[in-house]
């Protein structure tokens, strides 16, 4: 129960901050949060610690819980990404993450073709084939989890720990696209083939082919999402 209440407070306050209901400089009082959400002081205290770790609030003695500006947020944290994707600025968050993916994932595929251990390269290939099988049978839930796994494996296989650390953020945006109805009803056959092409190139140690196939995946993703961010400002901040 206490864990659920803790998550309730974190998600409620986090979403309000990201959505702009609580703006930078606004001050909350712990007693007011306790009363509104029906939780104990200890639950509020722990939730505030989480939000502090994300750079979203600071606890000021004899003042209260002050909301911090977006520039201080931990923008790669999956929770922050999830709140942003649920806000009115969803398009701006999708654009910034997609641009990040365009910059990083082709490079990761290129490096994976050089550095992936044989077992990891084989796992990437097996995951791509399982993705295609799930997509063809219409098993959307399985396809999503395999898609998340595929991209995480490629990032890991790059041998670059900075790239690998982006796996959770990329997984969150893939989940968000599905939850918010921004994925095709069924995966396109050519998109699934591109994932297989990346895997085959990694197995073959073909850097250029791995990079090119992942680049095509990313450009296709950008094209599918272009309407979602059209007309939105560059920043995802409220």
Q: Are residues 87 and 114 in the same domain?
A: yes
Going residue by residue through the chain, which has 238 residues, state the pLDDT in tens, using 9 for 90 and above.
568 888 999 999 999 999 999 999 999 999 999 999 999 999 999 999 999 999 999 999 889 999 999 999 999 999 999 999 999 889 999 999 999 999 999 999 999 999 999 999 999 999 999 999 999 999 999 999 999 999 999 999 999 999 999 999 999 999 999 999 888 878 999 999 999 999 999 999 999 999 999 999 999 999 999 988 888 877 656 6
Task: Classify residue 120: in a domain, yes or no.
Answer: yes
Q: How far apart are CA 99 and CA 111, in angstroms?
A: 19
Q: Provide the residue range defining the domain that includes 65.
A: 2-72
Task: Classify residue 235: in a domain, yes or no.
Answer: no
Q: Are residues 64 and 82 in the same domain?
A: no
**Can you read off the two tokens belonging to residue 12?**
């409620």
Q: How far apart are CA 159 and CA 156, in angstroms?
A: 6
The domain that contains 159 carries what CATH number? Answer: 1.20.120.530
Q: What confidence score (pLDDT) does residue 1 get?
A: 53
Q: Are residues 140 and 162 in the same domain?
A: yes
Task: Classify residue 236: in a domain, yes or no.
Answer: no
Task: Classify residue 238: in a domain, yes or no.
Answer: no
Number of structural domains in the chain = 2
Task: Classify residue 237: in a domain, yes or no.
Answer: no
Q: How far apart are CA 189 and CA 11, in angstroms?
A: 37
Q: How far apart are CA 221 and CA 148, in angstroms?
A: 14
Q: Are residues 161 and 222 in the same domain?
A: yes
Q: Are residues 30 and 118 in the same domain?
A: no
Q: Are residues 84 and 182 in the same domain?
A: yes
Q: What confidence score (pLDDT) does residue 236 get?
A: 58
Q: Are residues 35 and 91 in the same domain?
A: no
Task: Classify residue 139: in a domain, yes or no.
Answer: yes
- Provide the strand spans (E) within the chain: 27-28, 57-60, 64-67
Q: What confidence score (pLDDT) does residue 238 get?
A: 61
The domain that contains 7 carries what CATH number? Answer: 1.10.10.10
Q: Are residues 194 and 132 in the same domain?
A: yes
Q: What confidence score (pLDDT) does residue 228 get?
A: 86
Q: Are residues 63 and 105 in the same domain?
A: no
Q: Which of 51, 72, 93 is the last residue of a domain?
A: 72
Q: Are residues 131 and 221 in the same domain?
A: yes
- Residue 117 sits at φ, ψ, to 5 deg, of -60, 155
Q: Which of 22, 57, 72 is the last residue of a domain?
A: 72
Q: Are residues 97 and 153 in the same domain?
A: yes
Task: Classify residue 41: in a domain, yes or no.
Answer: yes
Q: How far apart are CA 136 and CA 123, in angstroms?
A: 20
Q: Are residues 83 and 22 in the same domain?
A: no
Q: Which of 72, 89, 119 is the last residue of a domain?
A: 72
């Amino acid at each position: 129960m206490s864990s659920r209440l803790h998550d309730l407070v974190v998600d409620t306050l986090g979403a309000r901050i990201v959505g702009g209901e609580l703006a930078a400089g606004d001050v909350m009082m712990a007693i007011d949060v306790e009363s509104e959400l029906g939780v104990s002081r200890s639950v509020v205290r722990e939730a505030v610690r989480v939000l502090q770790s994300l750079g979203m609030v600071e606890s000021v003695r004899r003042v209260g819980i002050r909301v911090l500006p977006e520039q201080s947020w931990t923008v790669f944290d999956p929770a922050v990404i999830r709140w942003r994707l649920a806000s009115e600025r969803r398009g701006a968050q999708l654009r910034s993450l997609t641009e990040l993916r365009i910059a990083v994932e082709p490079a990761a595929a290129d490096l994976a073709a050089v550095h992936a251990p044989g077992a990891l390269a084989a796992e990437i290939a097996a995951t791509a084939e399982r993705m295609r099988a799930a997509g063809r049978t219409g098993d959307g839930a399985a396809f999503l989890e395999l898609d998340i796994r595929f991209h995480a494996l490629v990032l890991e296989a790059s041998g670059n720990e900075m790239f690998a650390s982006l796996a959770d953020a990329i997984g969150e945006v893939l989940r968000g696209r599905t939850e918010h109805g921004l994925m095709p009803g069924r995966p396109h056959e050519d998109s699934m083939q591109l994932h297989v092409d990346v895997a085959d190139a990694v197995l073959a140690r073909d850097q250029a082919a791995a990079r090119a196939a992942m680049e095509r995946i990313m450009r296709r993703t950008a094209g599918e999402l272009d309407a979602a961010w059209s007309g939105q400002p560059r920043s995802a901040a409220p």
